[in-house]
Structure 1
Amino acid sequence: MSWFISPKQLLQRGVLGMNSRNIHYIARHNCRHLYPLVDDKLNTKQAAQKKGIAVPELLGVIESQWQLRQLKQLISQREKFVIKPTRGSGGKGILVITGRDFDYYVKSNGRKLELSDIRRHINNILSGLYSLGGKPDRVMIEALIDYDPAFTGYTYEGVPDIRIIIFKGFPVMAMLRCSTHSSDGRANLHQGAIGVGLDLLTGKSITAVQHNRPLKQHPDTGKAFSELQIPQWQAILELAASCYEMTNLGYLGCDIVLDRAIGPVIL
């Protein structure tokens, strides 16, 4: 069976192309002076905290080479944490540590890193290797989310997140992004994660896709996506909608994770 479809057919079915989205929605409904708030993850986190919106715990920020001296102290008492470039995109540069083995830091795929490996990765972030436009960047170190057990079997070696598109304050589209072995534990579609379309009314799964091909079950766990029901769905929608007032952007995407203890939080 062929899954290719012509642009005309996509248009007839109401599918919005990226160029049309960029011109008629992002550019038209978002004032450009507001972009720095959402182009930088640290700025977004701080804005959310001011509004009382739940976010993952911030363990530390590294803005320059000399601050790397603080790295061992920042992570010495943490078995699990995430390192992110503040201006990265597409999941690039995100390093997820899920455990410790004596002096080693263990990634979700089981690979062990030394402290020097983490320092090298942070150096690469600071130099702009993963940032938009290759400009020098900052580094955020966050607590790792302990995802809700309702997602067991729907993700592999990583934390699943929910992407909700908000238009003028209203949720209009949603999907769950599930990490896989091929995505290296990251919930990024470009790197091999699975996108699961969600019904906005109920939070139930509709269709799952990986690498532009439909799936009925997770390739690593065998869990059927037809059984998927997102818990606390109403609270998740309300959290996403609150980002409209936080950012004043008419069109935006919110990434949300469901923590076992805290509940829904904004990434």
Structure 2
Amino acid sequence: MLLASAKKLRSFGIIGMNQRNFGLISRYNPRHLYPLVDDKLKTKLLAQEAGITVPKLLGTVQYQHDVKSLKEILHPYSQFVIKPVKGSGGKGILVITEHDHNLYFKPSGDAMQLADIERHVSNILSGLHSLGGKPDTVMIESLIQLDPVFSDYSYEGIPDIRIIVLRGYPIMSMLRLTTHASDGKANLHQGAVGVGIDIGTGRALHAVQYGESVTHHPDTRKTFSELTVPHWDKLLQLAAACYEMTGLGYLGADLVLDRDQGPMIIELNARPGLAIQVANRTGLAPRVAVIEAIKTIDPDPQSRAAFSKRQFAFDTDIHPPRLLRTRSDDR
């Protein structure tokens, strides 16, 4: 990946860490509201109160002496997800897709015993995966079922959609696709593919893995040029509604498409990363300027989503298709 000077990046409208931290996070996100999104249980409760669909909560574990109750909690379920309540970046998430007698199987097919899961849960409780390393709580959720539209675009996991929302307006989006390298997790740092998504249509614009352009999924070899995210209007509206739900002026909404239940929110982030600009090959700064120029925020999330669709739609008459640019080993 080519490195550019800070001056050149600014000329492209790229927002850096300092500008994000002081110009967006500090300006729009009161610190007393952080717990609403840093704590996934609180986020889930807020979403349910707002009528937003979230994965079903199967159980929680708060203390080390409760670890022995895991067998009873997990017994009715053949599929589930274990998460740290205050984790970040996908750390500590354990996905189980099959339970057969005394064995629990991960999406990769690797088997675990109950003792392995108990050890994993104990590590979460001790703060191994939490923000600041503080003691944490474990939440156990139902497993999201893969929407068939993503069958050829994801490997051993569920893709998610990250939408950046400023003052209640969606301004940029990307799809994070799981890969063998990412161990079935939608984590770009671990090798997931980031696909920039056109706010106006839900269509794929450009894809990257490890910061390098790619045109096909590395495992399935499916080309991204045919990829369009369904239920796009609904996804934008859900993301926009997170402004009223949390009071945060700058946030990242992580959503998924469940085969049976459709769009749902899985997580919110008060400090969303900036890799979304690489996936879209465009900077956030011009879009931030548009939203900051709005004097009166529209109170209706649906109207705000519609505004963003019009304002930030990718113009193919001005910009050439980007998915054709790639490394030779991705042809």
The bucket for the TM-score relative to the shorter chain is over 0.9
Mapped contact 1:208–1:216 kept (Cα < 8 A): yes
Separation in 1 of the partners of 2:54 and 2:118?
Answer: 25
What is the CA-CA distance between 1:202 and the residue it aligns to? 0.1
Which of structure 1's runs of 4+ aligned residues deviate more than 4 A?
none
Mapped contact 1:3–1:213 kept (Cα < 8 A): no
SS at the partner of 2:97? strand
SS at the partner of 2:141? strand
Separation in 1 of the partners of 2:132 and 2:177?
Answer: 28
SS at the partner of 2:34? helix
Separation in 2 of the partners of 1:258 and 1:264?
Answer: 5
- CA RMSD in angstroms comes to 1.0
Aligned to 2:149: 150
Separation in 1 of the partners of 2:38 and 2:227?
Answer: 32
SS at the partner of 2:88? coil
Mapped contact 1:105–1:114 kept (Cα < 8 A): yes
Separation in 2 of the partners of 1:155 and 1:18?
Answer: 30
Q: Residues 132-175 of structure 1: CA distance to partner in whole angstroms, max 9, x if unpaired?
A: 11100000100010021001111100000000001001000000
Q: Give the % identical residues.
A: 58
Separation in 2 of the partners of 1:11 and 1:125?
Answer: 39
Separation in 1 of the partners of 2:150 and 2:108?
Answer: 18
The letter for the 2-side match of 1:146 is Q
Separation in 1 of the partners of 2:155 and 2:40?
Answer: 25
Aligned to 1:216: 215
TM-score computed with the length of structure 1 as normaliser: 0.98
Separation in 2 of the partners of 1:54 and 1:161?
Answer: 15
SS at the partner of 2:164? strand
Aligned to 2:86: 87
The letter for the 2-side match of 1:224 is T
Separation in 2 of the partners of 1:67 and 1:243?
Answer: 33
Aligned to 2:41: 42
Matched, 1:232 2:221: no
What is the CA-CA distance between 1:127 and the residue it aligns to? 0.2
Mapped contact 2:68–2:118 kept (Cα < 8 A): no
What is the CA-CA distance between 1:227 and the residue it aligns to? 0.6
The letter for the 2-side match of 1:203 is G
TM-score computed with the length of structure 2 as normaliser: 0.79
Matched, 1:185 2:184: yes
Aligned to 1:122: 121
Aligned to 1:206: 205
Aligned to 1:111: 110
Structure 1: give runs of 5+ residues left out of the alignment.
Answer: none
The letter for the 1-side match of 2:148 is P
Q: Larger % of strand: which?
A: 1
What is the CA-CA distance between 1:80 and the residue it aligns to? 1.1
SS at the partner of 1:84? strand
Matched, 1:22 2:21: yes
SS at the partner of 1:172? strand
Aligned to 2:196: 197
Bigger Cα Rg: 2
Aligned to 1:261: 260
Mapped contact 2:125–2:137 kept (Cα < 8 A): yes
